[in-house]
């Protein structure tokens, strides 16, 4: 296992190129299974979760070629089974339920277990697919689904689930008739998936709003498509500029999708501006704490909660962070406290009281965004911070240590002893 060793206290300065979005690339790769012809994707980030998805597609019968950020998928003769060994390492595997049911009329996908940030059941995906005519059984830890051709339906999600909306959107493209998804998730990654599906011939309206309408078609062709930039990676580098008192210029930054994050960072005192084709984030004077509540898009994203908490640890005053999306997404709190942060947890809320300084220490990453928050804290802490278990970080941040090194961070990757 590898770890990152960070010498804190160096303001970051320079340019960071934002990679393709993990959470857009995963469903789009899986949606390629719906197509009869080949799909060419560009700006696919080189991440562990992408490697896992490509393995999954290959096991399902697709032919894959990868050359850096270019991926070619030829769906070929598909098989209906996604095994537990892959699903347990990446929950997004459950997204192949919709495409497999609509292409093959059957699917057998291991039920993902709980994960570090919460129970994360998939009941809403299943109920919605049932409304479209699928029947499911749970046996031996696998969900097995069968259907004749899926049919259109009106589906109202009790909660705007991102994965559930993606699964349904994919399933509905090849279903007979019209599907209406109400209380749909509005995340930009859903819009990217819809754009990809439309480029393949799907008929979709309302993506990016809470009501999505899909008219089923008989077949989808392939297409060439560039994955959108990663808004959470961009937000993380903005926070990195803030916590080190530096200035970063972000290229390929999806500024329009960062509304709530930019508002919070500006409220804290950061200066964030679009300058030509880039976004410049800087924090010249000290920052102050604010209150934050995570919400579905367009609210403040849960995927930025941990990183902004690190930023608040060194800001003036105090602020309350309320996590409403996942029940257990505060695993970074005790690790930040090891670095000297003053945070009190009470149920879904964390009260952060800014301190004058953090001091380096060994800390343990528990999930992807928690890892990023610890790296940020390490960049600002006095002395040496060692972030262990960085395989979590490698699931979702492309070459983070290399990108940070280029803008002046003192960070190195080494084998964990």
Footprint on this chain of ligand EPU (rule: CB under 6 A): 23, 26, 92, 118-125, 159, 161-164, 301-303, 325-326, 368-369, 396
- CB of 46: closest distance to ligand EPU in angstroms? 16
Please tell me the distance from the alpha carbon of residue 200 to that of residue 198, in angstroms, as a whole number: 5
- CB of 94: closest distance to ligand EPU in angstroms? 8
User: 417: which residues sit within 8 A by CB, 6+ positions away?
Assistant: none
Going by C-alpha positions, the residue among 317, 198, 206, 226 that lies closest to residue 21 is: 226
Cβ distance to ligand EPU smaller for residue 25 or 409: 25
Cβ distance to ligand EPU smaller for residue 44 or 315: 44
Cβ distance to ligand EPU smaller for residue 229 or 302: 302
- CB of 190: closest distance to ligand EPU in angstroms? 9
Cβ distance to ligand EPU smaller for residue 99 or 354: 99
Judge whether 223 counts as a catalytic residue. Answer: no
- Measured from each CB, the residue nearest to ligand EPU is 163
Residue 71: exposure state from Cβ atoms within 10 A (0-12, 13-18, ≥19): buried
CB atoms within 10 A of CB 113: 12
Cβ distance to ligand EPU smaller for residue 249 or 310: 310
Which listed residue (35, 96, 115, 147) is catalytic? 115
What Å distances lie between residue 29 and 73, 327, 340, 360, CA to CA? 8, 28, 41, 39
Instruction: Give residue 141's Cα distance to chain centre.
Output: 25
CB atoms within 10 A of CB 377: 32
- CB of 378: closest distance to ligand EPU in angstroms? 19
Q: List active site positions.
A: 115
């Amino acid at each position: 296992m590898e770890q990152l060793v960070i010498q804190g206290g160096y303001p970051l300065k320079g340019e960071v190129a934002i990679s393709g979005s993990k959470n857009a690339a995963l469903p789009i790769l899986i949606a390629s299974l719906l197509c009869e012809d080949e799909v060419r994707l560009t700006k696919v980030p080189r991440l562990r979760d992408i490697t896992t998805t490509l393995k999954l597609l290959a096991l399902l019968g697709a032919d894959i070629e990868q050359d850096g950020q270019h991926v070619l998928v030829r769906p070929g003769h598909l098989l209906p089974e996604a095994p537990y060994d892959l699903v347990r390492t990446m929950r997004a595997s459950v997204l192949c339920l919709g495409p497999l049911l609509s292409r093959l009329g059957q699917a057998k996908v291991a039920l993902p277990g709980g994960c570090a940030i919460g129970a994360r059941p998939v009941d809403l995906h299943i109920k919605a697919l049932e409304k479209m005519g699928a029947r499911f059984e749970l046996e031996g830890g696998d969900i097995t689904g069968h259907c004749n051709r899926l049919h259109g339906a009106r589906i109202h999600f009790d909660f705007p689930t991102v994965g559930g909306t993606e699964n349904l959107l994919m399933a509905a493209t090849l279903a007979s008739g019209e599907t209406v998804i109400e209380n749909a998730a509005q995340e930009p990654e859903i819009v990217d998936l819809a754009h990809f599906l439309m480029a393949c011939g799907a008929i979709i309206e309302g993506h990016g709003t809470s009501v999505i309408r899909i008219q089923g078609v008989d077949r989808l062709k392939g297409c060439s498509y560039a994955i959108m930039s990663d808004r959470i990676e961009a937000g993380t580098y903005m926070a990195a500029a803030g916590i080190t008192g530096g200035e970063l210029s972000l290229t390929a930054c999806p500024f329009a999708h960062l509304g709530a994050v930019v508002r919070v960072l500006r409220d804290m005192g950061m200066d964030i501006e679009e300058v030509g084709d880039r976004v410049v984030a800087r924090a010249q004077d000290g920052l102050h704490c604010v209150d934050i509540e995570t919400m579905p898009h367009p609210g403040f994203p849960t995927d930025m909660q941990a990183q902004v908490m690190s930023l608040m640890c060194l800001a003036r005053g105090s602020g309350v962070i309320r996590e409403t999306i996942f029940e257990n997404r505060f695993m970074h709190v005790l690790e930040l406290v090891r670095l000297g942060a003053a945070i009190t947890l009470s149920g879904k809320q964390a009260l952060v009281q800014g301190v004058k300084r953090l001091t380096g220490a060994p800390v343990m990453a528990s999930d992807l965004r928690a890892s990023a928050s610890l790296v940020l804290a390490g960049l600002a802490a006095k002395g040496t911070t060692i972030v262990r278990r960085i395989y979590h970080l490698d699931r979702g941040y492309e070459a983070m240590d290399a990108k940070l090194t280029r803008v002046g961070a003192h960070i190195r990757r080494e084998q964990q002893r």
